[in-house]
Structure 1
Amino acid sequence: MLDLPTRGNRASGVVSTAAGFASARPAQREPDSRARFGLAGRVLVVTIGFALLAMGLFYVARLASYRETWLHNKITVAQTALEAFDAVGSHELSPDIARKVLESIGLKAIVVSTPSGRRTVSASPQPAADISIDPTREAFLDSVGAAFRTLAAGRGQVVAVTEATAADGGRIEVTLDETPLVAALWRVSNTFLNIALLIATVVASVLWTALWIMVLRPMRRLTSNIIAFGQRPQDVSRIIAPSGRDDEIGRAEKALAAMQKTLAHELAQRKRMAELGLAVARINHDLRNILSAAQLISDRLATIPDPQAQRLAPRLVATLDRAIQFCQTTLTYGAGSEQPPERRPFDLNKMVQDVAETARDEHGEDIDYHVDIPPRFEVYADPDHILRVLENLSRNAAQALLEKGVAGGRPKSIRFAAIRTDGEALIEISDTGPGFPPDRKERIFEPFQKSTSQAGTGLGLSIAADLVTRNGGCIDLAPAKADDFYCGARFLIKLPTPERAALTNARPGVEA
């Protein structure tokens, strides 16, 4: 009959004062309107920097390769010229012819060393070289350094370039003026610089545009929305609308929208609770005085010899006492010094019988009340708190039966039942009404969620959940059983028994 799903302690809304609500809101700071070097600017600078770095590395390799190729071409031209003279049988050249040949190929002298001898082609006198170079023996870094040294060299420097010949195992050496090579390297540098700037601009523009569309603009939208929502989190119009993307940014937008909706809802409830708390604090003092006067009148009614008055007067006095105590407790809570529940063993059967009898007096024969609780069924809690919980649930069930009717043609009926299991008391309050709509079941214990009548405040179930939790128990809306006579709303309450409380008290550190 009774089943209670596993449930943690339910956090319920608590009425706070308007001053407390105001103090909980930090002062908003105006956003800094000064221009900032934001994420977009940083990404642009990094993109341009990496593009220029890549082009710079390519330029260094290209400059070293061009110098090496230029020098190798000079060696090749010198070999070709010598082979041409050998082909016509001319081994020794006149100084005038040698000068013309060397000027045509841009050299000052050619020296070929072979195992059979040494051959020289030069104008008289043969110039002396400032430095000697063997490109085939230079490592990459050496070639890069030599290219930049050549680029920075002055005009008129003479160099001797040596390279091994593959044909006869000899070596060929050419002496040349480095000025044409320097000019060629500068032309290559200027051309490469223009091309590099163009490529870097295009690549950086395309890459930055792609980053702006795919990442930066959505991130700026997220950031702007977070800032705007933080300034007025209660404004639901500032909740971000997800763009529908299926990547990480799209999931972040959906998560942010859900978080903002939850926060806006919680802030709206907090504000309403604060306003309610302020209103309650204003009226409770006068209400307590009115109830005190009514209590004096009820005391005089107890002296009337009428049997009906004698039967009802004690219950009226007890009800007024509870109302006065409740007003005092509310004022104490509003002052921030709420007292903990006074938990003790009490007979649940007797309490439920009183609740049912009061309800029968109110509704007459319109609703049947059934109590299925064993005699002397004790629980360990604050009796006033549990009485308020039972009265709230009973009143809600009666309102649902009277306003919305019953399910399946059954009679209007409410049942109270309880059993013990594993040292805990399981209490069920069920009815034959229509139950709760599926869209309200998840939030019925939240403040201002009206469960039965639109005329109520929507605080009854929230207060009930708070009272049960403060007494070491939990409350839940159990699924309706279609084959059960009481197939409407089924509330299950778990409370500790005196035996469980005694065991818990004997083991410090364990919550009852």
Structure 2
Amino acid sequence: MEKPHLKLPPWAKSLSARLLVLTVSFVMLAEVFVFAPSVARFRIDWFESHLDSGYLAALALEATPDQMIPDDLEKELLSNAGIEAVILRRADRKLLLQRDDMPAKIDKDVDLTRFSIPMALFEGLSTLTQTGNRMLRVVGMPSMAPDFKIEILVHEKALTKATRDFGWRVMGLSLMISFFTAGLVYFALNRMMVRPMRTLTRDMIRFRETPQDKTAVIDPGDRDDEIGVARQELANMQQDLQAMLNQRRRLAALGTAATKISHDLRNALATSMLMTEQLAKSQDDEVRAVVPRLLSSMERAVYISEQTLSFARETPPPRDLVKFTLVELIEEVRDQILLHKPDPLTDGAPRDKAAQTQPCTAQIKINLPDTVMLEADYEMLFRAFSNLIRNPLEAGADEVTISLLPPEGQNQPPESEHLIEVVIADNGPGLAEKAIKNLFVPFAGSGREGGTGLGLAIARELIAVHNGDLRLAATGPDGAVFCVKLPVSL
């Protein structure tokens, strides 16, 4: 079934929208780390400014001859300083300014001489959430007289209000900076990355809709970054794909024509073989001598036509699954092969009809347990193993051994992993280098003269239909080793 063509997502689901949201979120997250220290610093500055104001009020008291001032002036000094009381400690005396209505209870002590960053951050943020009006006693040293320790009493409500006002100003400024920075980052990344990626995606969708249109191949441009490399590689891939599609289209047309020709040729050859057999009854000795060669050539042509027709199918025929033992299958393949002597055709010479009817003298050794069960199409696997065992015999081998992996002596049974690997080893001359390079390529992987190169390709296809695999494990002057991996029936 053809997959539906995809479309570019709407803006709300696009990379642009996600980029904008992430940029604003990350910038705001960075502003949070700026906001907390700013609030903590503001709280400390507020206390220090009130300490300086308290120190100036205490100096006014100290300037009087008897350290006594009228109550109205005392209240005005404390009110202008924004504090409730101030205590200035000298080496020989202590000066005190306080309101008459000052509460006697102190709710919290704040010692500015003992500073720590974690405590300052915590106290700064906690000030924003205070709802009461606690009385704070602040101990510190004024900036104008760092040698003197001074104490002031202040209401926290004024500090909370000032801190909140400062926090709102910082928050507003942070939002402005965040959106401005996010906008710059967004438009920069959108132009440099998101828009090129969206264009690249649009070009890919367009190419998929019309892969054979040469104008659908993208223009790689002149970018030299990762996106430029991606566009260049995509352009190369599209060109290679178009070339493959054109070649596949030509091969499909050629295959259709070859299939029709092979079908008609097989019928014509069958008729010719019947007529040639009638010639064998001729009284002319020269005619009878030519008949075996004619039959051999015709049979070879019929074989090539059948192989071509079989491979020309677009998909393998449906499987007819039955349960059987592996050794039963291999023994029947062996018995059929040993009935007639395989035709080597190593030199391209026509085969001898009389020699073909003689039994095969090669040895086919089967080292398989009788407990391995398969659930597969019997005829398909019969044909696949027949090709694999017959090929080395036709190439000149006189011994073929069929066994299982893992080798004997291993405690684990071969069928315990739900897969088996059948090893087909021979003592033939091995495969030529050209045959190895095109081993499973149709019409190109034949290891002997006169072969079609379809045997291994068909065998591998039939095994792949059963979720298995065929591979060449080894080859050399001492022979070749093929491995067939198949699922077993438990």
TM-score where L is the length of structure 1? 0.57
**3-state SS of paired residue (1:159):** strand
> Which amino acid is the alignment partner of residue 257 of structure 1?
A
Equivalent residue for 2:385? none
Per-residue CA deviation, residues 73-101 of structure 1 (Å, 9 max, x unaligned), is: 11012223433554575632222222222
Equivalent residue for 1:160? 137
Equivalent residue for 1:13? none
Q: 2:123 aligns with which of 143, 146, 149?
A: 146
**3-state SS of paired residue (2:68):** coil
Partners of 2:345 and 2:2 lie apart in 1 by 51
Q: 1:95 aligns with which of 65, 71, 81?
A: 71
> How far did residue 70 of structure 1 move?
1.0
Do the aligned residues in 2 keep the contact of 1:131 with 1:159 (CA within 8 Å)?
yes
**3-state SS of paired residue (1:176):** strand
Do the aligned residues in 2 keep the contact of 1:113 with 1:171 (CA within 8 Å)?
yes
Per-residue CA deviation, residues 5-54 of structure 1 (Å, 9 max, x unaligned), is: xxxxxxxxxxxxxxxxxxxxx42124377746233322221211110111
Q: 1:181 aligns with which of 159, 170, 184?
A: 159
Do the aligned residues in 2 keep the contact of 1:115 with 1:170 (CA within 8 Å)?
no
Do the aligned residues in 2 keep the contact of 1:344 with 1:380 (CA within 8 Å)?
no
Do the aligned residues in 2 keep the contact of 1:158 with 1:178 (CA within 8 Å)?
yes
> How far did residue 321 of structure 1 move?
4.0
Do the aligned residues in 2 keep the contact of 1:346 with 1:380 (CA within 8 Å)?
no
Matches within 5 A, 1:28-67: 28-31=3-6, 35=10, 37-67=13-43
Judged with a 3 Å threshold, the aligned counterparts in structure 2 of structure 1 residues 158 and 205 are, in CA distance, closer, same or farther, namely same
Per-residue CA deviation, residues 93-132 of structure 1 (Å, 9 max, x unaligned), is: 2222222222222223211234423211233344445533
Judged with a 3 Å threshold, the aligned counterparts in structure 2 of structure 1 residues 189 and 34 are, in CA distance, closer, same or farther, namely same
Judged with a 3 Å threshold, the aligned counterparts in structure 2 of structure 1 residues 98 and 263 are, in CA distance, closer, same or farther, namely same
Judged with a 3 Å threshold, the aligned counterparts in structure 2 of structure 1 residues 312 and 427 are, in CA distance, closer, same or farther, namely farther
Equivalent residue for 2:404? none
Judged with a 3 Å threshold, the aligned counterparts in structure 2 of structure 1 residues 247 and 84 are, in CA distance, closer, same or farther, namely same
Judged with a 3 Å threshold, the aligned counterparts in structure 2 of structure 1 residues 232 and 344 are, in CA distance, closer, same or farther, namely farther
Judged with a 3 Å threshold, the aligned counterparts in structure 2 of structure 1 residues 300 and 168 are, in CA distance, closer, same or farther, namely closer
> Which amino acid is the alignment partner of residue 201 of structure 1?
F
Per-residue CA deviation, residues 436-469 of structure 1 (Å, 9 max, x unaligned), is: xxxxxxxxx9xxxxxxxxxxxxxxx973446576
> How far did residue 162 of structure 1 move?
1.9
Q: 1:106 aligns with which of 51, 60, 82?
A: 82
Judged with a 3 Å threshold, the aligned counterparts in structure 2 of structure 1 residues 250 and 135 are, in CA distance, closer, same or farther, namely farther
**3-state SS of paired residue (1:134):** strand
Equivalent residue for 1:80? 56
Do the aligned residues in 2 keep the contact of 1:295 with 1:317 (CA within 8 Å)?
yes
Equivalent residue for 1:198? 176
**3-state SS of paired residue (1:41):** helix
> How far did residue 71 of structure 1 move?
0.9
Judged with a 3 Å threshold, the aligned counterparts in structure 2 of structure 1 residues 129 and 225 are, in CA distance, closer, same or farther, namely farther
**3-state SS of paired residue (1:133):** strand
Matches within 5 A, 1:13-32: 26-31=1-6
Q: 1:463 aligns with which of 443, 456, 462?
A: 443
> Structure 2 regions of 5+ residues with no counterpart?
318-332, 351-390, 396-427, 458-474, 485-490
Equivalent residue for 1:266? 244
Q: 1:122 aligns with which of 82, 86, 98?
A: 98
Judged with a 3 Å threshold, the aligned counterparts in structure 2 of structure 1 residues 316 and 168 are, in CA distance, closer, same or farther, namely closer
Do the aligned residues in 1 keep the contact of 2:106 with 2:135 (CA within 8 Å)?
yes
**3-state SS of paired residue (2:443):** helix
> Which amino acid is the alignment partner of residue 124 of structure 1?
D
**3-state SS of paired residue (2:73):** helix
Partners of 2:146 and 2:432 lie apart in 1 by 108
Partners of 1:348 and 1:151 lie apart in 2 by 97
> Which amino acid is the alignment partner of residue 143 of structure 1?
A
> Which amino acid is the alignment partner of residue 287 of structure 1?
L
Judged with a 3 Å threshold, the aligned counterparts in structure 2 of structure 1 residues 224 and 306 are, in CA distance, closer, same or farther, namely same
Equivalent residue for 1:69? 45
Equivalent residue for 1:278? 256
Do the aligned residues in 1 keep the contact of 2:86 with 2:97 (CA within 8 Å)?
yes
Judged with a 3 Å threshold, the aligned counterparts in structure 2 of structure 1 residues 108 and 350 are, in CA distance, closer, same or farther, namely closer
1:326 corresponds to 2:301: no
Equivalent residue for 1:220? 198
Partners of 2:432 and 2:119 lie apart in 1 by 88
Question: Does 44-53 or 238-247 show the bigger shift?
Answer: 238-247
Per-residue CA deviation, residues 247-288 of structure 1 (Å, 9 max, x unaligned), is: 333333333333343344334433443443334334433333
> How far did residue 156 of structure 1 move?
5.8
Partners of 1:49 and 1:116 lie apart in 2 by 58
Judged with a 3 Å threshold, the aligned counterparts in structure 2 of structure 1 residues 168 and 426 are, in CA distance, closer, same or farther, namely closer
> Which amino acid is the alignment partner of residue 29 of structure 1?
P
Judged with a 3 Å threshold, the aligned counterparts in structure 2 of structure 1 residues 276 and 98 are, in CA distance, closer, same or farther, namely same
**3-state SS of paired residue (1:244):** coil
Do the aligned residues in 2 keep the contact of 1:95 with 1:122 (CA within 8 Å)?
no
**3-state SS of paired residue (1:162):** strand
Equivalent residue for 2:460? none
Partners of 2:456 and 2:129 lie apart in 1 by 87
Judged with a 3 Å threshold, the aligned counterparts in structure 2 of structure 1 residues 261 and 381 are, in CA distance, closer, same or farther, namely farther
Do the aligned residues in 2 keep the contact of 1:133 with 1:161 (CA within 8 Å)?
yes
> How far did residue 217 of structure 1 move?
2.5
TM-score where L is the length of structure 2? 0.59
Per-residue CA deviation, residues 419-447 of structure 1 (Å, 9 max, x unaligned), is: xxx9568799xxxxxxxxxxxxxxxx9xx
> How far did residue 239 of structure 1 move?
3.8
Higher RCO (CA < 8 A, seq sep 6+): 1
Do the aligned residues in 2 keep the contact of 1:244 with 1:250 (CA within 8 Å)?
yes
CA RMSD of aligned residues (A): 4.8
Judged with a 3 Å threshold, the aligned counterparts in structure 2 of structure 1 residues 96 and 224 are, in CA distance, closer, same or farther, namely same
Per-residue CA deviation, residues 181-203 of structure 1 (Å, 9 max, x unaligned), is: 33322332222222111100111
Question: Does 152-161 or 108-117 show the bigger shift?
Answer: 152-161
Judged with a 3 Å threshold, the aligned counterparts in structure 2 of structure 1 residues 102 and 157 are, in CA distance, closer, same or farther, namely same
Do the aligned residues in 1 keep the contact of 2:58 with 2:87 (CA within 8 Å)?
no
Judged with a 3 Å threshold, the aligned counterparts in structure 2 of structure 1 residues 146 and 191 are, in CA distance, closer, same or farther, namely same
Judged with a 3 Å threshold, the aligned counterparts in structure 2 of structure 1 residues 287 and 469 are, in CA distance, closer, same or farther, namely closer
Equivalent residue for 1:17? none
